[in-house]
Amino acid sequence: MKSINLSNIMCSLIVGVAVIIGAIILQYPSSITDTKMVNSEEVTQMNPLMTVKETAEYLNLT
């Protein structure tokens, strides 16, 4: 009976720590993930990796 109580306490501690860490991550998302703003000019200059024809050939659809 004592081992069941000990495992319950350990599980509760793990869940508690996970909730606290999750709350911290949600409170300060910009400090954890560094997001960059992209200029619209840079987006228009990007080319696709494959054309539709190349993709169809790659997937054996032709």
pLDDT one-digit tens code per residue, 12-58: 999 999 999 999 888 876 655 555 665 655 556 667 788 899 999 99
- pLDDT score, position 49: 86
Q: How far apart are CA 57 and CA 62, in angstroms?
A: 6
- pLDDT score, position 4: 73
- pLDDT score, position 53: 92
Residue 58, both tokens: 């790659």
Q: How far apart are CA 32 and CA 23, in angstroms?
A: 13
- pLDDT score, position 58: 92
Cβ partners under 8 Å of residue 25, min gap 6 = 32
Residue 15, CA distances (Å) to 23, 30, 36, 62 in order: 12, 24, 33, 52
Residue extents of the structural domains in the chain: 2-58
